[in-house]
Structure 1
Amino acid sequence: MSIFVIGYYALLLGASCLAAYFNKRSLFMLLFTLTLVSFIIGIVGGVSALWFVTGAAALILLAGMTAYGFREFLVQILPGEASKEFKTAPLTAAFGMFVIFTYLVMGIFAPLIAPHGEAEVIASAFAPADDTMLLGADQLGRDIFSRIVYGTRNSVGLALAATVLAFLLGAIAGLLAATKGGWFDQLMGRIADVIMSIPSLIFALLMLSIFGPSIPVIIGAVAVIYAPRVFRLTRAVAGNVVVMDYIEAAKLRGEGTWYLIRKEILPNSTAPLVAEFGLEFCFVFLLVAGLSFLGLGIQPPTADWGSMVRENATLISFGDITPLIPAAAIALLTVAVNFVVDWMLHRSSGLKE
Structure 2
Amino acid sequence: MTATLPVAAHRTSRRRRTIALTAVAALPLLLALAGPLIAPHTIDTPVTAPFATPGDGAVLGGDQLGRDVLSRVLHGGPLLIAGAFLVAVVITLTATLIGIIAVLRPGLGRAVERSADVAILLPPLLGIMLIALAWPGGGRWAVIAAAIILGTPYAVRVVAAAASPLATAGYVETALARGESTPYIALREILPNLRATLLTLFGLRFVEAFYVISMAGFLQIGPQPPASDWSLMVRENASGILLNPWAVIAPSLAIAVLAISANLATLALAPDTTAKTVTRS
What is the TM-score with the length of structure 1 in the denominator? Answer: 0.69
Please say if 1:128 is aligned against 2:53.
yes
Residue 193 of structure 2 corresponds to residue 268 of structure 1? yes
Q: Which amino acid aligns with 2:16?
A: K
| Cα contact 1:106–1:153 (8 A) shared by 2 | no
Shift of 1:247: 0.8
Cα deviation per residue 1:255-283 (whole Å; 9 max; x = unaligned)?
A: 11111111111001111110121112112
Whether 1:208 aligns to 2:148 is: no
Does the Cα contact within 8 Å between 2:84 and 2:213 map onto a contact in 1?
yes
Instruction: For residue 191 of structure 1, report the CA deviation from its aligned partner.
Output: 1.4
Q: How does 1:58-207 map to 2 (within 5 A)?
A: 85-89=14-18, 94-95=20-21, 97-182=22-107, 184-207=108-131
The alignment of Structure 1 onto Structure 2 pairs a total of residues equal to 268
CA shift, 1:329, in A, is 1.6
Deviations 1:266-325 (A, max 9, x none): 001111110121112112211211111111122222211111111111222336343112
1:224 CA drift (Å): 0.8
RMSD between aligned alpha carbons?
2.6
Report if aligned partners of 2:100, 2:160 keep a CA contact under 8 Å in 1.
yes
Seen in structure 2, the aligned counterparts of structure 1 residues 312 and 350 have a Cα distance that, compared at 3 Å, is farther
Q: CA deviation at 1:106?
A: 2.4
Q: Closer, same or farther in 2 for the Cα pair 1:83/1:141, shift >3 Å? A: farther
1:298 aligns with 2:227: no
Give the 3-state SS of the residue equivalent to 1:318 in structure 2. coil
Structure 1 unmatched runs, 5+: 1-80
Give the structure, 1 or 2, with the largest relative contact order (CA under 8 Å, sep 6 or more). Answer: 2
- CA shift for structure 1 position 245: 1.1
Residue 157 of structure 1, CA deviation: 1.7
Instruction: Choose 1 or 2 for highest CA Rg.
Output: 1
Q: Kindly tell me: are residues 226 and 305 of structure 1, through their superposed partners in 2, closer, same or farther at Cα, counting changes over 3 Å?
A: same
Q: Matched residues in 2 for 1:83 and 1:302: separation?
A: 46
Q: Letter of the 1:230 partner, please give it.
A: A
Separation in 2, partners of 1:203, 1:308: 24
Q: Among the aligned pairs, what percent are the same residue?
A: 31
Q: What are the residue-to-residue correspondences of 1:211-222 with 2, within 5 Å?
A: 211=135, 212-222=137-147
What does the per-residue CA deviation read over 1:191-242, in whole Å, with 9 as the maximum and x for residues that have no partner? 1111100111111011112224322221111001111121011001111111
State the alpha-carbon separation in 1 of the partners of residues 196 and 141 from structure 2.
30
Change beyond 3 A, Cα 1:120–1:234: same
Deviation at 1:352, TM superposition (A): 9.5
Paired with 1:180 and 1:310, the residues of 2 have a C-alpha distance of 48
Give the 5 Å matches for 1:237-316: 237-316=162-241
Shift of 1:159: 1.4
CA distance in 1, matches of 2:23, 2:241: 30
Gaps of 5+ in 2: 1-9
Match of 2:7 in 1: none
CA distance in 2, matches of 1:101, 1:298: 26
Residues 350 and 202 of structure 1: CA distance in aligned 2, closer, same or farther (over 3 Å): farther
- 8 A contact 1:110–1:150 mirrored in 2: yes
Paired residue secondary structure (1:135): coil
Q: Deviations over 1:171-196 (max 9, x none)?
A: 211111112222x1111111111110
The aligned amino acid for 2:92 is: F
SS of 1:269's partner is helix
**1:332 equivalent in alignment to 2:261:** no
